[in-house]
Amino acid sequence: MNRPGLLGDMLDLTGQHFVLVVASMLIAVAIGIPLGILLTRKVPLRGWVLGFANVMQTIPSLALFGFLIPIPLIGGIGKRTAIVALVLYALLPILRNTLVGILGVDPAVRESAVAMGMTGRQLLFQVELPLAARTILAGVRVATVTTIGTATIAAAIGGGGLGVFIFRGIASVDTTQILAGAIPAALLALLSDGGIGWIEKRFSAA
Amino acid sequence: MGGSPVAVRGEPLDGSLMAAVEFRRVSFSAGGQVILDQLDLSVEAGETLVLLGRSGSGKTTALKMVNGLLFPSAGEVLVDGRATTSWELIQLRRSIGYVIQEVGLFPHLTASENVGLVPHLKGWPVERIESRTRELLEQVDLSPVQFADRYPRQLSGGQRQRVGVARALAADPSLLLFDEPFGALDPVTRLELQNQFLALRDRLRKTCVFVTHDVREALRIGTRIALLDRGRLETLATPEQFLKSLGTQTRAFLAVLDGERHAKGDQPESRA
């Protein structure tokens, strides 16, 4: 690999990495928050769903990527499989914080909302979600930061991203390449942590 | 029956005065425990009926049956002559004001947003909500300029409770429910708010059901007092009659006043 091309590769792979993370997080949020809300209403489901999300978290990430490869439709080599694995990882913190955030709303506040004649939907959107927003965002933040790190493993199954540098650097014992992957990943993580943290603080009025 | 209740509501076909709220042999049990036992009680339009009792006497349970937060296990509760089970619940609740201890304000909404919530739910135009909110804050002695944009955590306990009262009055309901609204306040603020409650009630002519465990509060503000003991109605009387009542639980409550009187040489308060 010629050195002048390194910067170009870095931009390229950072872009890929970013796309992986954003796609995974969008899907994880789109599944995690509604599912979390559902769990606040359906108590019997809670143990099963949280159990599943917990088990997903305990599988070592490299193994999870490997497990998915032979599975039809969601498996195979490439980005799609990587995104499925990242979503499975990101789900738990989002799910759990949505549940905890909503269940943490003062029962007296919830009761007075019902007593004032709010419909279930109004209760959710005007009271429960605004009051749980901070906790939910904290979950999204944790999930995002972890996903940025875990996404480096996507390269192992052909998912691209900054992991490409890291795996290549390890294979060729080239510290420059490892750093070219690790530093942008760390910067991405710091930036998103700060960014989502800032949004979180905006909700501190509640 | 105490006083002459002001008839502000329609009369049923048989010509008798329709009660604002009526409990008909209402029982309620939860988890194998009987909380209310065949309660018969009616609240006349314009009166303030106080539900007095110790913790666990069923008074709050009875109150929550009026706006359909709970339903009887047996018997029925009628509001405006209609069983709560046959009301459209959302509509029933929006037509009844509800005040609970200070924690019931929405922490993420300002004082004026809290007050304007039911009008907002009812789809009033924005200008009307705004003018109504200002009017109500003034009615409970909170200057709108100073307090409208404050969040509940920026208000004192007494101010929060005033906002709670304003909120309950927002859509001009003829029936108001109070669940130990002044319970968490210091005695001086409590007295101020009781006075304000009396002034507002007399001016606005609302029917009120008021839950408390404080016998002095009951005697001050009630036009009638219903004393509940372990889910049963022991005494139903005007404050004057209540002082002479012989029920065991009633005597126990009155002993609180006697105790104070003996300790300080006071007269028990009554709203004469």
pLDDT by residue for chain A (206 residues), tens digit each?
445 588 888 999 999 999 999 999 999 999 999 999 999 999 888 989 889 888 888 888 888 888 888 888 887 888 898 999 999 989 999 999 999 999 999 988 999 999 999 999 999 999 999 999 999 999 999 999 999 999 999 998 888 999 999 999 999 999 999 999 999 999 999 999 999 999 988 876 54
pLDDT of residue B271: 46
pLDDT average, residue stretch B85-104? 88
Tell me if B217 sits within 8 A of B178, measured CB to CB: no
Asked whether the beta carbons of B158 and B185 are under 8 A apart, the reply is yes
How high is the pLDDT of residue B245? Answer: 86
What is this structure's pTM?
Answer: 0.81
Per-residue H/E/C for chain A:
CCCCHHHHHHHHHHHHHHHHHHHHHHHHHHHHHHHHHHHHHCHHHHHHHHHHHHHHHHCCHHHHHHHHCCCCCCCCCCHHHHHHHHHHHHHHHHHHHHHHHHHCCCHHHHHHHHHCCCCHHHHHHHHHHHHHHHHHHHHHHHHHHHHHHHHHHHHHHCCCCCHHHHHHHHHCCCHHHHHHHHHHHHHHHHHHHHHHHHHHHHCCCC
Query: pLDDT per residue over B124-179, tens digit each?
Result: 999 999 999 999 999 999 999 999 999 999 999 889 999 999 999 998 899 999 99
Look at A69 and B268; give whichever has higher pLDDT. Answer: A69
- Minimal Cα–Cα distance from B252 to chain A, Å? 30
Q: From residue A33, give the alpha-carbon distance in Å to each of A62, A74, A139, B49, B52.
A: 26, 22, 10, 45, 44
pLDDT score for B264: 61
Q: What is the pLDDT of residue B227?
A: 94
Within 8 A of A104 by CB-CB distance, chain B residues are none
Q: What gap in Å lies between CA A84 and CA A89, rounded to an integer?
A: 9
Count of beta carbons in the 10 Å neighbourhood of residue B137: 22
* Interface mutation target, options B106, B149, B169, chain A, most CBs of A under 10 Å: B106
Runs of H (alpha helix) within B171-238: 187-204, 215-221
> Is-contact B166 B105, C-beta < 8 A?
no
- The two tokens of residue B20 are 């604002």
Cβ(A65)–Cβ(A154) below 8 Å: yes
Closest CA to B136 of B194, B185, B203: B203
Q: How many residues does chain B have?
A: 272
Contacts of A109 in chain B (CB under 8 A): 103-107
More confident residue, B93 or B202: B93
- Buried b / exposed e over A141-174, threshold 16 CB at 10 Å, is bbbbbbbbbbbbbbbbbebbbbbbbbbbbeeeee
pLDDT in tens, B49-67: 999 999 889 999 999 999 9
pLDDT band at B6 (very low <50, low <70, confident <90, very high): very low
Cβ neighbours of B204 (radius 10 Å): 12
- Rounded average pLDDT over B105-112: 93
Q: Which residues of A touch B110 (CB under 8 A)?
A: none
Q: Beta B33-43 vs B224-229: how paired, if at all?
A: unpaired
Tokens of B28: 């309620």
Chain A interface with B: residues with Cβ < 8 Å: 106, 108-109, 111-119, 122, 127, 130-131, 205-206
Is A119 within 8 Å of B90 when comparing Cβ atoms? yes
**pLDDT score recorded for residue A65:** 85
Residue B64 near residue B230, CB atoms below 8 Å: no
pLDDT at B15: 44
Q: What pLDDT score was predicted for residue B103? A: 67
Contact B117 A116 (CB under 8 A): yes
Residue B257 has what pLDDT?
81
Task: Tell me the pLDDT band of B258, cut-offs 50, 70 and 90.
Answer: confident
Residue A13 near residue A181, CB atoms below 8 Å? yes
- Nearest CB among B93, B100, B151 relative to A108 is that of B100
Predicted pLDDT at A22:
96
Q: Which of A112, A116, A205 sits opposite B108 (nearest CB)?
A: A205
CA atoms within 13 A on the CB side of B101: 11
Residue A150: the pLDDT is 92
Best residue of A111, A114, A116 to probe chain B, by most B CBs closer than 10 Å: A116
Which of the four pLDDT bands, split at 50, 70 and 90, describes residue B12? very low
The answer to whether the Cβ–Cβ distance between A127 and B151 falls below 8 Å is no
- Least confident stretch, B7-21, B22-36, B145-159, B251-265: B7-21
Overall average pLDDT of the B198-217 stretch:
92
**Which residue in B69, B91, B103 is closest to A114 by CB distance?**
B69
Put simply, the answer to whether B108 touches A130 (Cβ < 8 Å) is yes
Count A/B contacts: CB-CB distance under 8 Å: 55
pLDDT at B218: 94
pLDDT score at B171: 87
With bands split at pLDDT 50, 70 and 90, how would you rate the model's confidence at B249? Answer: confident
DSSP state of B13: T
CB-nearest to B108 from A114, A117, A206 is A206
Q: In the predicted model, what is the mean pLDDT of residues B196-206?
A: 90
A108 and B104 in contact by Cβ < 8 A? yes
State which residue of chain B sits closest to A206, comparing Cα positions.
Answer: B108
Rounded CA gap, A74 and A87, in Å? 12
Numbers of helices and strands, H then E, in chain B? 11, 10
Nearest in space to B166 (alpha carbons), one of B190, B184, B139? B139
Q: Work out the pLDDT band at B102, boundaries 50, 70, 90.
A: low
Q: Do A109 and B103 touch (CB under 8 A)?
A: yes
For residues A47 and A156, what is the distance between their CA atoms, to the nearest angstrom?
33
